[in-house]
Structure 1
Amino acid sequence: MKLPHAQLAVLKTASADEDRPLTEVATEADLKPAAATRAAFELEDDGLVSVSEETDESVSLTDEGRQYVEEGLPELRLYAAAVDAGADESPVSLGQLIGASGLEGPAVDIALANFARKGYGEVDSGEVSVDPDADPDSDPERRALERLADGDDPDADEATIDPLESRGLVAREESTVRSVQVTDEGVNALMAGVSEAETVDRLTPELITSGEWEDVEFTEYNVEADAEQFQGGKEHILRQTANRVKDVLVGMGFEEMEGPHADAQFWINDCLFMPQDHPARTHWDQFALEEPSEIQDLPEDLVERVRSAHKDGVGPDGDGYHSPWTEETARRLDLRGHTTSLSMRYLSGHQIGELEPPQRYFSVEKVYRNDTLDPTHLLEFFQIEGWVMADDLSVRDLMGTFTEFYERFGITDLDFKPHYNPYTEPSFELFGTHPETGDIVEVGNSGIFREEVLSPLGVDCDVMAWGLSLERLLMLMYGFEDIRDVHGTLCDLELLRDVEVVH
């Protein structure tokens, strides 16, 4: 019997007495793992070997897990600080313990959540008391992390590994382990004598020109054998959805706006008739630039009209804010907190020249806000901005536009809630029902621009406008419960590889 080189090497290296891992056989036979696997399946088809499979699960430390091995779990650091401060005898201020433990940022919340869960003590009205009989040295999560750091099996049950995985301190990985064993028929073939066949696995120009192709034996291909897996790149589902939104809006007669991500507060807030002492304009909500810190070019006549609207109002019955307004504040540069800055640039004629009604414009661009991260909030996200300029617009026109837009994505259960905005009147928020949880999710804000916004811009007709969240649209379309599933470092890579946007 003659066999190709790889098959012969696997047959001779494998054992008839026991299963041997294919990786071990490949190393000993000086073959690449993929070549050894392919050869084993070919030999199995001929009945010379048997191939078995089992799933192997491994647990490894994440970067955060390694950090806690070095620094200690936050709840254990809090416990140690509490014991040192005498909290085993009488309650101690939480603020004092946080400072003593060196915990800061998210680690504080992590410590508090796990401190009580593990029975190390209680936190009540800002004071901490500890259980003096607790034994942090035998903490099973701590011991599992230390064993993993030493390269050992964690020797822990699911009740220990599961919370560590949910905390992001360990990662589970599954792999398929294949083993091979020579069958009786394979033993008989070896005893009868097996030699290496002269085979080639591809037809080359040299074989054709020399004529040798007529005399060589070509390797048989097993089309059912497992192929090596390659993960190619693909367009992110969020970008797919953004492009889908653009297609829908263009199909509804809209044109796309473009503009800077860092812009003057004048365009971001002042043109929107938001007072300069409004809480949303503080550093708690916006990101300010240090260099450059202010814009150089602002249209002087428009600046004066906007200043007048803020100080004195618009029209004979108008009334301004009677609050401080300075051009210095208006010139300061921030990362835009909403893409309405683009709308102000376009409506004023500053971006592409004067516009005559009717007009429809939109953008699907990133905005930046200093929010607390949670399942529905990020520091940066995509906003779907849009507006229509025409005569005699009403709320019914705005609601009809939303209904048509969201129907294109299979969303028909919209709710509208009256709302207050400094820049629109009337105003309302949009809500949709989450398909998995049934929760009501806010998806956008909208309204018709006030005269105090339009008059300084030189617009003498109605303008209805909105800002919608692209990520929350995605949540309603596919049932995601957490924006971070598709955005940032915690996203589900398998989900991103498999999910396609429905057109």
Structure 2
Amino acid sequence: MQLPEQQVAVLEAASADEATSVDALAERADLPPETVTGAAFELETEGLVAVEERVDETVTLTDEGADYATATLPEIRLYEAALEAGADEEPVQMGQVIGASGLEGPQVDIALSNYARKGYGTIDSGEITADPDADPSADAEANALEALSDADEAPVDAVDVDADTIDQLDRRGLLERRESTVREVILTERAVTELMAGIETAETVGQVTPELLTSGDWEDVEFAEYNVEADAEEFEGGKVHVLRQMSERVKDVLVGMGFQEMDGPHVDADFWINDCLFMPQDHPARTHWDRFAMEQPSHIDELPEDLVADVERVHREGLGEDSEGYHSPWDEDFARALALRGHTTSLSTRYLSGTQIGEIEPPARFFSVEKAYRNDTLDATHLLEFYQIEGWVMAEDLSVRDLMGTFEEFYAQFGIEDIQFKPHYNPYTEPSFELFGTHPTTGELIEIGNSGIFREEMLEPLGVDCDVMAWGLALERLAMLTTGAEDIRDLHGTLADLEFLRNAEVTY
């Protein structure tokens, strides 16, 4: 029997008594592993060997995970600082505890997002509490990091860490999982018989060279067979982010519904962000706990004087017989204060007032898909910065029925046809309602937006004398409904699930 040289080498290196890995055969035969793999598949076709496959999974700590294994997790540092500050007895200002913990940059967000999840305490309205019964020494993730710190690359089966903890550390980017296909080769009875009888080496050529062609030797040589079943090297190319896909799709849908796009500053005066929305200056959402104020510059220089006077008048006195205003302090200096916009409705007030692009005549439809910033508590549906789908329609005699119909048409473009509505209160819309959608995996109702008809107290100072229906929808939550993501932090941020992002598709 004649076989190519590589196949003969593999047969001579393999055993009929026990399976031998490709790597071991490659070492014995002094051949590259990929050459041995190809030869093994060819021998299997001839019935001379059996090739067995299994997938081995190993885990190794990332640099960040190794750092936390040496020091400790950010949430534990935050808990220890909270205890030192007496948060186990009464709530303590969060800024004070963060400063004492020594956490900086992304570690602060990481600590805040995991603190309550692990039961170390609560974070609410800028204050933090610490559960005196919490036990950091029993933290499964911290203990797992310590257990893995000594292993360079440990098989999952050999690690004394439960699967849920491994999954959580993987989502946090603290460890890396690697899967490798292990192939083992064992000789068949036929191979043993042929080896005893003697196998000759056949001269084969693996590729056509210029020399073979010019000399004419290619007509006499035997070419090695090409194995189309051999594994190719995997490459993970770039991909448009899920939120970018979602954003572009939303824009396409709204433009198709006759809307024009708005844009404007991310940092804006409180006047445009809140005062023009008929939101009182002592509203809880306007405190420094909920907004990100700017230190330098701290105030805007130019505001339309007439518009400022009209907005102040309505805040103080109301509008018409049935409106009394707020009877609360109104300070122009506060209205000029700069902050990261808490919602993109600041763009709507700029456009409706005619300040941004000039006076707009009804009927008109505008939208934006832009970032907003809020000092929220991080959880599965909240981030400190997020994308808001802002939109409004200006026309005569608009009703809630028109608004609901617009949403049904919009969400139907994404295959979502079970939108639910719930009455709500906003200082700037009446009537108002929230929107909810059903998560395709968990079946839970998720709030996906807020909407209503702008109040006359808001529109009159802006110079608008017809109806305007408006909304602010959450892009990330729409992405959760279309991709099945269960946690908004899987989509973007320091804890983003890269494997999920590689495979998720925006469907519509």
Displacement of 1:276: 1.9
Q: Distance in 1 between matches of 2:285 and 2:65?
A: 37
Deviations 1:311-335 (A, max 9, x none): 3333566533233333332232222
Does the alignment pair 1:393 with 2:398? yes
Displacement of 1:468: 0.9
Q: Distance in 1 between matches of 2:79 and 2:304?
A: 60
Deviations 1:434-474 (A, max 9, x none): 33333322111111111222122221111100011122223
Displacement of 1:395: 1.2
Q: Distance in 1 between matches of 2:485 and 2:141?
A: 30
Displacement of 1:417: 1.8
Q: Equivalent residue for 2:232?
A: 227
Q: Which runs of 5+ in 1 are unaligned?
A: 86-91, 115-124
Does the alignment pair 1:332 with 2:326? no
TM value normalised by structure 2: 0.78
- Shift in alpha-carbon separation, 1:409–1:182, aligned structure 2, 3 A: same
Does the alignment pair 1:60 with 2:53? no
Displacement of 1:158: 8.8
Displacement of 1:51: 2.0
Q: Percent identity?
A: 62
The secondary structure found in structure 2 opposite 1:151 is coil
Does the alignment pair 1:192 with 2:192? no
- Shift in alpha-carbon separation, 1:280–1:18, aligned structure 2, 3 A: same
- Shift in alpha-carbon separation, 1:352–1:109, aligned structure 2, 3 A: closer
Displacement of 1:481: 2.8
Does the alignment pair 1:299 with 2:293? no
- Shift in alpha-carbon separation, 1:128–1:452, aligned structure 2, 3 A: closer
Q: Equivalent residue for 1:423?
A: 428
Contact 1:199 1:217 in 2 (8 A): no
- Shift in alpha-carbon separation, 1:455–1:495, aligned structure 2, 3 A: same
- Shift in alpha-carbon separation, 1:3–1:193, aligned structure 2, 3 A: closer
Displacement of 1:398: 0.8
Q: Equivalent residue for 1:287?
A: 292
User: After the TM superposition, which residues 100-249 of structure 1 pair with which residues of structure 2 at under 5 Å, given as runs?
Assistant: 105-106=111-112, 109=116, 112=119, 128=132, 145-151=145-151, 160-165=161-166, 167-168=168-169, 173-183=178-188, 188=194, 191-200=198-207, 218-249=223-254
- Shift in alpha-carbon separation, 1:111–1:71, aligned structure 2, 3 A: farther
- Shift in alpha-carbon separation, 1:385–1:171, aligned structure 2, 3 A: same
- The residue type paired with residue 88 of structure 2 is L
Does the alignment pair 1:20 with 2:14? no
- Shift in alpha-carbon separation, 1:406–1:77, aligned structure 2, 3 A: closer
- The residue type paired with residue 21 of structure 1 is S
- Shift in alpha-carbon separation, 1:5–1:389, aligned structure 2, 3 A: farther
Deviations 1:112-162 (A, max 9, x none): 569xxxxxxxxxx9885799xxxx79x998776544222286999898423
- Shift in alpha-carbon separation, 1:39–1:236, aligned structure 2, 3 A: farther
Q: Equivalent residue for 2:88?
A: 94
User: After the TM superposition, which residues 373-392 of structure 1 pair with which residues of structure 2 at under 5 Å, given as runs?
Assistant: 373-392=378-397
- The residue type paired with residue 52 of structure 2 is S
CA RMSD across the alignment: 4.2
Displacement of 1:404: 1.5
Q: Distance in 1 between matches of 2:409 and 2:428?
A: 24
TM value normalised by structure 1: 0.79
Q: Distance in 1 between matches of 2:186 and 2:28?
A: 15
Q: Distance in 2 between matches of 1:283 and 1:93?
A: 21
- The residue type paired with residue 412 of structure 1 is E
Q: Distance in 2 between matches of 1:225 and 1:332?
A: 65
Does the alignment pair 1:46 with 2:53? no
Deviations 1:215-248 (A, max 9, x none): 7765532222222222222222222222222222
Q: Which runs of 5+ in 2 are unaligned?
A: 104-110, 122-128
The secondary structure found in structure 1 opposite 2:292 is coil
- The residue type paired with residue 262 of structure 1 is V
The secondary structure found in structure 2 opposite 1:383 is strand
Displacement of 1:65: 5.4
Q: Distance in 2 between matches of 1:359 and 1:78?
A: 50
User: Which one is further off, 298-307 or 253-262?
Assistant: 298-307
- The residue type paired with residue 388 of structure 2 is Q
- Shift in alpha-carbon separation, 1:253–1:279, aligned structure 2, 3 A: same
Contact 2:483 2:507 in 1 (8 A): no
Contact 1:60 1:172 in 2 (8 A): yes
Q: Which of these residues, 252, 255, 262, is aligned with residue 257 of structure 1?
A: 262
Contact 1:2 1:196 in 2 (8 A): no
Q: Distance in 2 between matches of 1:348 and 1:417?
A: 29
Displacement of 1:3: 6.2
